[in-house]
Structure formats: structure tokens, C-alpha cells
Amino acid sequence: MLTTPLLLLCVATCLSPTASVTDRSKANLQPQVKLRTWEQAIAMAKSFIGQLTLQEKCHLTAGVSGTCAGNIASLPRVNFSGFCLLDTPSGVGDGVLYSTAFVSGIHIAGTWDRDLFYRRAVAIGKEFRGKGVHYALGPMVNIDRNARHGRNWEGFGSDPYLSGENAFFYTQGVQDQGVVTTAKHYICNEQDTHRSGVMKGANDAVVYSANLDDKTMHEIYLWPFASSVVAGAGSIMCSANEINDTRACQNNQTQNGLLKGELGYMGNILTDWMGSKSTVDPVLSGLDIDMPGNDGYMGDTLVAFVQNGSIPESRIDDMATRIIAPYYLVGQDQDYPTLDLDRDAMENNYLVNREASRAGMILLKNVNNILPLNSSINTNIYIYGQAAGQTNCGLEQTSWNANCGGALYQGGGSGFVRPAYALDPLTALMQKGRDDRLQIRYIANQNDFISINRTFSDRGFQNAKCLVFISAWSEEGIDRTDLYAFANGEQLVLTVAQNCRQTIVLVNSVSQLNLERWVDHPNVVGVLWTGMPGSEYGPALVDILFEGVFLDYRHFDKYNITPRYYFGYGLSYTSFSFGKLEISQANDDDKNSPASLYKQRRMRPYNNFSDSGLYDPVYTIKCTVKNTGNYYGSEVAQLYLGFPVQAQEPPKILRGFERVYLEPNESREVALVLTRKDVSYWNVVNQQCATVVEVQDADVGVDQFDPENDDRNAMELIKNGSGPSVMVVYYPNNSGQQSA
Ligand SMILES: *[C@@H]1O[C@H](CO)[C@@H](O)[C@H](O)[C@H]1NC(C)=O
Ligand SMILES: *[C@@H]1O[C@H](CO)[C@@H](O)[C@H](O)[C@H]1NC(C)=O
Ligand SMILES: *[C@@H]1O[C@H](CO)[C@@H](O)[C@H](O)[C@H]1NC(C)=O
Ligand SMILES: *[C@@H]1O[C@H](CO)[C@@H](O)[C@H](O)[C@H]1NC(C)=O
Ligand SMILES: *[C@@H]1O[C@H](CO)[C@@H](O)[C@H](O)[C@H]1NC(C)=O
Ligand SMILES: *[C@@H]1O[C@H](CO)[C@@H](O)[C@H](O)[C@H]1NC(C)=O
Ligand SMILES: *[C@@H]1O[C@H](CO)[C@@H](O)[C@H](O)[C@H]1NC(C)=O
Ligand SMILES: *[C@@H]1O[C@H](CO)[C@@H](O)[C@H](O)[C@H]1NC(C)=O
Ligand SMILES: *[C@@H]1O[C@H](CO)[C@@H](O)[C@H](O)[C@H]1NC(C)=O
Ligand SMILES: *[C@@H]1O[C@H](CO)[C@@H](O)[C@H](O)[C@H]1NC(C)=O
């Protein structure tokens, strides 16, 4: 074990608008159904499959045709009514009626708020349960390593730790409602172009292969899947690509080795749709279910393979057990609703959706506090851009091409939720205008520069605020070809900015967008990243724009690049101070200690924490955050670790965060907990997680730090010696462009 210093870096920089507009209901942290442990669920599953014939067991291992995207057949003889599997990660998809389009994965990750991760997942889980759906085909936990990946919007961004925390609380929130989660796409599915292959002959598609080393696998791509397993996920979807030149769904190293072996995963592995291409290799490599199942590779076909000895019956029993156990695990045997895909179970989920929509929007530029707008003074408003209003082609995923226009609530593909309704910004601003007596004009056709130009000589235009809406779309199956806005959005921004001194740009984008062509224009005084904000986009945006709610490294660090907006960046309408840093060994004897609360918050009967102690808390880091401004607002304390050189890590790695909501002058202590895994790295020599800090190290802790007595903008306190080194970076005026 290494005892070289560990560098802790605690950054307080990410501030995004959050309103005091609605009461923040405290997360209900209790499951709503009777849940079981894996041991109990497996025992019940074994008892159930004990009654089954070989044929019946095999029958469970492939999907059949039916009303859902994936259907596990019923077995009437034993009164088993089968399972329904449905998309998406962010709401009930596949075109059902009465469904909420929730903020997408990338948007919820941008809130940095675990309570919201959980409460959004609870609402999603309730809609699946309410319709009688057994499996939600999410979360999507692939890493945003490629800005153009068509599915980035479904996932939780570029950081494994942030993705892992999202995966954990998504799994918990949804499974607490009795719905099985399916973490996907296992593994290394970070691009969509060529994911299903380039045809070389009729049945000979060559898919791309992700070839990578163990360290990268463990520390980046496997991390959020591990978090899903620990959280107790009942199902995991293998991907269509190859890893080291072997298909994911027949990859013994990744399925039997990493997932079922090293991580101790007890649930089933099902294919991405048409992701498997044979019988024996996939089954012996750990695949349990073939979806959608009409290819004849598994299911009834397996009987003959067992009879001639190609596949042992014990493996079929294992598959059947893994297929049935999650059903008992999350209590689907107890009063589970019958299947009715069009049942309305939306309840008041719009409230949490609106809160998440707001909280995930990120303020990137705010010159002279142009935002929030004061509706008593800023009464004259001009709105430009097709992305402000509804699409011309209906709320269909296929409709969002540049010609259809319209605000984007989510991206496209199987992850798209066709919402029961969706509120666009233009509608919400018009309503605000009626209520607050605003003067509003708009031009939605962003190619009509004659009309656009004409507005610049309107009466009263000189004092107007100009809101310019731009968007960028992507979808499953194909990656983006560039990182620019739809329909010449850049030209629209520049044209308006040339003429309007108070131009505010609203960026409604699936993932990364290149803003460089216009962001430094002196008349662009405000930029708000509205992300993939779900059905409540319009109202959430109005909350941010007017109501004073207030409110994103590794590669950049290594190559010493200063990005335009560093990971974790986001401005606030208020300001914060940050201090009293304290480090101590974790103590979970006291039930109210941060370490103990950390564990309690994660505990469920269906968890599968490994026995290795990797998830035990080892350190507690406390600091105090104070709202020093005049507005209610929120701040995210972010904890970064710098590892010793032996670990061969980038300079800083995210290992903790907590979002706090504070009234003016209010301060609160934030406690961040580090687990053994958090302070470890993958040791390629002994193939284990090496812990870089000795927990027994008596020299740890009690470094205090008071920003009020130190006027440096970035303050550092480094304690040399055998204990961990500690660094606090503090940017009181949000002006720093740090590569943190
Ligand atoms: C079959 O299942 C239904 C619904 O789950 C239940 O109401 C019924 O009692 C069961 N019948 C038998 C014979 O177990
Ligand atoms: C992939 O190949 C690399 C290089 O041979 C090896 O180190 C790694 O363990 C392999 N990973 C998997 C999952 O097969
Ligand atoms: C498959 O992986 C398991 C677990 O790592 C290993 O025990 C087994 O030998 C592997 N089988 C093959 C055929 O490589
Ligand atoms: C969880 O994972 C471990 C392997 O890490 C395994 O030994 C254990 O049986 C699993 N089950 C439970 C209920 O934790
Ligand atoms: C076993 O049976 C299957 C299905 O009929 C067949 O495809 C396969 O070639 C057989 N394998 C052996 C080793 O006989
Ligand atoms: C908005 O402007 C009015 C009129 O100047 C002023 O009275 C009010 O305090 C302002 N509201 C806020 C929140 O600053
Ligand atoms: C609109 O005005 C811009 C300058 O603001 C000018 O460059 C452009 O040619 C005008 N377009 C039309 C169609 O008049
Ligand atoms: C915050 O506290 C300072 C000093 O006590 C006081 O002057 C100021 O009015 C307070 N601000 C608010 C918004 O309460
Ligand atoms: C910590 O120790 C290193 C090497 O001994 C030295 O270069 C560095 O300046 C020290 N840092 C502080 C803050 O004392
Ligand atoms: C913020 O801090 C930077 C660095 O000290 C300084 O250059 C800048 O003027 C400050 N901005 C404001 C608005 O105080």
C-alpha cells in the first residue's frame, strides 16, 4: 500500500439558478413497497424455477412479441404473467400516452443535487409502475468522452464519479417504486455511429471495438456500472459494440469476469436490441436474455443445446434465477399494477420536473447582473429563434429536424419520451407577459432576416431586452457531425447582437456546443444553458429569467488547457464564501455522524455492497459555505483529489460534491464523505484497487482555513508530510476560468 500524500482539492464554483419559487419538498427517502434482500429474492426465485420444465426455463431467456419494447413470456401453467420492458431512462417512452418527459440524464447531472437525482427517479419509477411496466430501460451510464456522441444527452456526462452518483440514486429511486432498472450500455458504448456495424456482406456486420487497458476500464467506464450494482440494480444491458475485438454480449471478461465476478452482480444481463449474434458463446459468457428475441438464438432454441451437452443445464438454471430474482427483489409479486401502457400515472410529477429543469440550467455569462430580469423595469422584450416556440411537426421524436424547428425537451431515439404535453418558452413568456404587463414581440423564423432586421427599427427597441433561442439536436444511432447550433443559430445570435445592446442567449442543447463564434460579442450580455429540460421547459425558464432564483477537466488539466467553461462551472445571482475546512477519519459509530448518515442514506435491502470494504467511509471532509449576497441561491461544494505520482492519475479527480441552498447571510456546514474506493486507484500489477492513503494514518486532519483572513482569489493550504495534502480553491467572484 502506498502512503504518499494525497491531494484534496475542494472547489466551490458551480452555481446555478434555483428558485425559492416552490417549496423544496424534502426527499422522501423511504421505499414505497416491501423490498427484499438478494438472498431472499434468490431463494424465492430458485423455489419458483424448481417447478419449471427445462423448456419453460429456456423460454424465459428470450423476448417474445408483445405490447412492450421487450416482453418476457408468461407461463400460465405456473401463473406467471411475464414481464414488460420499456424505454426510456428519463420517463416512460416508446410512444405511450400520458407520459412526462423528464429532464434528460445530462440535465439532472448538471444539478449536482442528490436529492433531486433521487426525487426525479422516484417520479419516473412511479410512472413506470403506474402503467404496470416491470423494467425501465435505464439509466444510461456511458461516459460522455466524445462530444458528438448522439446519446450523450441520455447519460450523466463526462465524469465517472458524477455518473456513478447519478446511477446510484437513479437505481434507488426507481427500484424503490418496485420497478427494475437496467443500467446500459455495458460496456464502452461511447459512440453510436457504426455501433451496429458496417455491412461487409449480407450477414457480416463489422462493429467497432473499444480496445482498452484495465486501469481505464476500472476507473472510467466500469465505475458507474459498479455504482449501479452496489445500488442493487436488477438488470444490466450489454451493448452492440465489441471490447478488445469481442462482442460485448459474448464477452466473457466483461460479463463473467468484471460484472458477475469482480463486482458480484446478482441480476441478469440482457442484450441491447439485436446486440447478440449467436447462441453458445453469449450464453457461456454470461448473457441471460436475448432481446427483442425473435432471432432464434436463445429461448426455446436452448433446449437442444442442453440436450446435446453444448450448454449445461446448471447454466440455464442460473439464467432463469437471475431473470426471476429481481421480480421478488423489488416486490413485484405484491399488488403490482396490471399492464396498461396508457394509464395516466403522471400525478403531480410536473413539480419535481420543473424543479429539476430549473436546477439543471446553467448561467454562463451575466454582465452587470443583467439577469434576473425585473419585470417592473424590463418590460419590453424581443424573442428570436425557432427554438423559442413549439415545433411545426408535433411532439414526435422524428420531427425535430431543422425545418420543423421548436424547443427541444429531449433528444432522439429510443430515449425519447413523447410527452403528454410540453411547455415551450414562448408560451410561458407570453403568459408571464399577460400577468406582469410585459410588451413582447417575437420572430420565430430565424431564416427570415428581412423580418428580423425590421424589428431593429421598431418603436422602443432601443431599450428592449433581446432573448435569442438556439438549439442543437442529436439522436441514437448516429453521432453529430459538428458542434454548432441548428439552422444557423450562430448567425441569428450575431445579427441580433449587432443591433441589440442587451442580448441574452438561451442555449437548448443535447450536449456540448461551440459558442466561440459569438460568446465574446460585447452585446451578448447574458448566456443561459438550458440543456435538455423536459416538458416543463417554459415555466422553468421563466422562473430563472425573472424570479431571481439563482442561481460544469481531466484532459484540460493534463495538457494545461484552460477551457471556456471548466467542468463544474456555473454562475449565480448571489455570492458565497467558503471556509473552515476540516478533515478527519470517518467515524460511523455515531449515528448522526456524516459517515453514518452517508451509509444510512444509501442503505436498501436490495443493495449489493461488496464485502471488500471498498464502499466503507474512510474520511470526512467538512467545510462551511455562506451566502454573502443578497439573493437566495445555491452553491455546489466540489471535492477533488490529487493522487500521488505512482497512481498515474490526472491532476485532479472529482470525488465528492454537495449542493446547498442558502438564504442571504445563511451559512451551513457541508460534510463530504470519502469511501475507500474514492481514495483508491486500479493497480494493474496486482489487479486490485490500491488504497493510496493509510486509513490508520494519525496525521490526517484538522487543517483549518479561514477565507475571511485571506484575500487571495485562489487560496491554497497544503500540508506536507505523511498525511494527505489539502487544497482549497475558492473563487469568490465567479470570474476565474480555472481548469478545475
Ligand atoms: C395467479 O396470480 C393472480 C395475480 O397475480 C392471483 O390473483 C391468483 O390468486 C393466482 N392464482 C394462483 C392459482 O396462484
Ligand atoms: C483488453 O486488452 C488489454 C490489452 O491486452 C488487457 O490488458 C485488458 O485486460 C483487456 N480487457 C478486457 C476486458 O478484455
Ligand atoms: C470466463 O470468465 C470466468 C470468470 O472470470 C473464468 O473463470 C472462466 O475461465 C472464463 N471462461 C473462459 C472460457 O475464458
Ligand atoms: C454482492 O457482491 C458480493 C461480491 O462482491 C457477493 O459475494 C455477494 O454475495 C453479493 N450479494 C449481496 C447480497 O451482497
Ligand atoms: C447442439 O444442438 C444445436 C441445436 O440443434 C446445434 O446447432 C449444435 O450444432 C449442436 N452441437 C453439438 C456439439 O452437437
Ligand atoms: C424591481 O424594480 C422595482 C422598480 O424599480 C423595484 O422597486 C424592485 O425592488 C425591483 N425588484 C427587485 C427584486 O430588485
Ligand atoms: C440584416 O442586417 C444585417 C446587419 O445587421 C445585414 O448584415 C444583413 O444583410 C441584413 N439582412 C437582410 C436580409 O436584410
Ligand atoms: C447580512 O448581514 C450583514 C451583517 O450582519 C447585514 O448588514 C446585512 O443586512 C445582512 N443581509 C441580509 C440580506 O440580511
Ligand atoms: C511541500 O513539500 C515540497 C517538497 O518538499 C515543497 O516543494 C513544497 O513547497 C511544499 N509545499 C508547501 C506548501 O509547503
Ligand atoms: C474577480 O477577481 C479577479 C481576480 O482577482 C479580478 O481580476 C476581478 O476584477 C474580480 N471581479 C470582480 C467583479 O470583482
- Specify whether 272 is catalytic: yes
Per-residue pLDDT at 738 exceeds 50 = no
List beta partners, residue 655. none
Q: Which of the residue ranges 308-317, 576-585, 728-737 has the most confident prediction, judged by mean pLDDT?
A: 308-317
List beta partners, residue 680. 691
Q: Where in the chain is the domain with CATH 2.60.40.10?
A: 8-12+572-739
Per-residue pLDDT, 296:
96
Per-residue pLDDT, 570:
67
**Mean predicted confidence (pLDDT) in 492-519:** 97
C-alpha cell at position 257: 469476469
Residue nearest ligand 8's atom 4 by CA? 665
- Identified catalytic residue from 87, 144, 159, 272: 272
Position 177, amino acid: Q
pLDDT band at 120; cut points 50, 70, 90:
very high
Per-residue pLDDT, 106:
97
Mutational pocket test of ligand 5: of 302, 308, 313, 316, the residue with most ligand atoms within 8 Å of the beta carbon: 308
Per-residue pLDDT at 7 exceeds 70 = no
**Mean predicted confidence (pLDDT) in 630-635:** 85
- Report d(CA 117, CA 199) in Å as an integer: 40
Fold of 8-12+572-739: Immunoglobulin-like (2.60.40)
Q: Is 215 exposed, middle or buried (0-12, 13-18, 19+ CB in 10 A)?
A: middle
Per-residue pLDDT at 187 exceeds 50 = yes
Q: Where in the chain is the domain with CATH 3.20.20.300?
A: 27-191+219-329
Per-residue pLDDT, 288:
98
Per-residue pLDDT at 591 exceeds 80 = yes
DSSP secondary structure letter of residue 73: P
C-alpha cell at position 312: 449445461
- Report d(CA 609, CA 29) in Å as an integer: 19
Per-residue pLDDT at 432 exceeds 50 = yes
How far from each other are the two terminal CA atoms of the chain, in whole angstroms? Answer: 28
Q: What percent of the chain has pLDDT over 90?
A: 70
Instruction: Catalogue the long-range contacts made by 406-410 (C-beta closer than 8 Å, 24 or more residues apart).
Output: 407/469, 407/471, 407/508, 407/537, 407/538, 408/471, 408/473, 408/508, 408/509, 408/510, 408/532, 409/101, 409/532, 409/533, 409/534, 409/535, 409/537, 410/90, 410/101, 410/104, 410/153, 410/532, 410/534
pLDDT band at 314; cut points 50, 70, 90:
very high
List beta partners, residue 507. 470, 529
Q: How far, in Å, from the CA of 17 to the mean position of ligand 6?
A: 19
Per-residue pLDDT, 711:
31
Q: How far, in Å, from the CA of 350 to the mean position of ligand 6?
A: 30
Per-residue pLDDT, 549:
56
Cell 418476457 found at: 72
Which atom of ligand 5 is found nearest the CA of 301?
4
Per-residue pLDDT, 271:
98
Reference 85, options 98, 73, 101, 102; nearest CA is 73
Which atom of ligand 10 is found nearest the CA of 734?
1
Cell 396490471 found at: 338
Fold of 27-191+219-329: TIM Barrel (3.20.20)
pLDDT band at 708; cut points 50, 70, 90:
very low
Mutational pocket test of ligand 2: of 214, 245, 246, 259, the residue with most ligand atoms within 8 Å of the beta carbon: 214
- Check: CB of residue 180 under 8 Å from CB of residue 135: yes
Q: Where in the chain is the domain with CATH 3.40.50.1700?
A: 361-549
Per-position DSSP letters for 696-728, written without gaps between them: T-TT-------GGG---SS------SSS-EEEE
Of 18-32, 54-68, 499-513, the one with minimum mean pLDDT is: 18-32
Helix (H) / strand (E) containing 366: strand 362-366
Q: How far, in Å, from the CA of 468 to the mean position of ligand 2?
A: 48
Is the sign of the CA dihedral 614, 615, 620, 622 positive or negative? positive
Per-residue pLDDT, 612:
74
Per-residue pLDDT at 117 exceeds 70 = yes
- Report d(CA 332, CA 337) in Å as an integer: 9
- Report d(CA 656, CA 676) in Å as an integer: 13
Per-residue pLDDT at 68 exceeds 60 = yes
112 compared with 548, residue with greater pLDDT: 112
Q: Of the bound ligands, which one is closest to the alpha carbon of residue 210?
A: 2
Other C-beta atoms within 10 Å of 707: how many? 20
- Report d(CA 496, CA 716) in Å as an integer: 43
Q: Is 335 exposed, middle or buried (0-12, 13-18, 19+ CB in 10 A)?
A: exposed
Q: How far, in Å, from the CA of 376 to the mean position of ligand 6?
A: 7
Residue nearest ligand 4's atom 9 by CA? 264
C-alpha cell at position 664: 442571504
131 compared with 621, residue with greater pLDDT: 131
Per-residue pLDDT at 497 exceeds 80 = yes
Q: Which CATH number applies to 361-549? A: 3.40.50.1700
User: For the CA atoms of 55, 61, 64, 66, what is the dihedral angle to 10 degrees?
Assistant: 120
- Check: CB of residue 637 under 8 Å from CB of residue 625: yes
Q: Of the bound ligands, which one is closest to the alpha carbon of residue 629?
A: 8
pLDDT band at 556; cut points 50, 70, 90:
low
Q: φ and ψ at 20, to 5 degrees? A: -90, 15
Q: How far, in Å, from the CA of 216 to the mean position of ligand 4?
A: 24
Average pLDDT, the chain: 86
Q: How many CA atoms lie within 13 A of 130 on its CB side?
A: 20
Per-residue pLDDT, 729:
37
Q: What percent of the chain has pLDDT over 70?
A: 83
Q: How far, in Å, from the CA of 15 to the mean position of ligand 10?
A: 17
Q: φ and ψ at 125, to 5 degrees? A: -60, -40
Per-residue pLDDT, 459:
94
Q: pLDDT digits over 126-184, tens only?
A: 999 999 999 999 999 999 999 999 999 999 999 999 999 999 999 999 999 999 999 99
Cell 480555472 found at: 738
Q: pLDDT digits over 635-665, tens only?
A: 888 887 767 667 777 767 888 889 999 999 9
Per-residue pLDDT at 23 exceeds 70 = no
Q: Of the bound ligands, which one is closest to the alpha carbon of residue 252?
A: 3
Per-residue pLDDT at 25 exceeds 70 = no
100 compared with 566, residue with greater pLDDT: 100
List beta partners, residue 477. none
Per-residue pLDDT at 453 exceeds 90 = yes
Mutational pocket test of ligand 5: of 278, 298, 305, the residue with most ligand atoms within 8 Å of the beta carbon: 305
97 compared with 632, residue with greater pLDDT: 97
Reference 241, options 161, 139, 149, 137; nearest CA is 149
Residue nearest ligand 8's atom 9 by CA? 665
pLDDT band at 99; cut points 50, 70, 90:
very high
Give Cβ neighbours of residue 385 (< 8 Å, ≥ 6 apart).
444, 446, 468, 469, 470, 471, 489, 492
Q: How many CA atoms lie within 13 A of 577 on its CB side?
A: 18
Cell 451493448 found at: 239
Which atom of ligand 8 is found nearest the CA of 664?
13
Per-residue pLDDT, 33:
76
- Using DSSP bridges, classify how beta strands 439-443 and 380-384 pair: parallel, antiparallel or unpaired: parallel
* C-beta 374 within 6 A of ligand 6: yes
Measuring from each residue's beta carbon to the nearest atom of ligand 5, which residues come in under 6 Å? 304-305, 308, 310
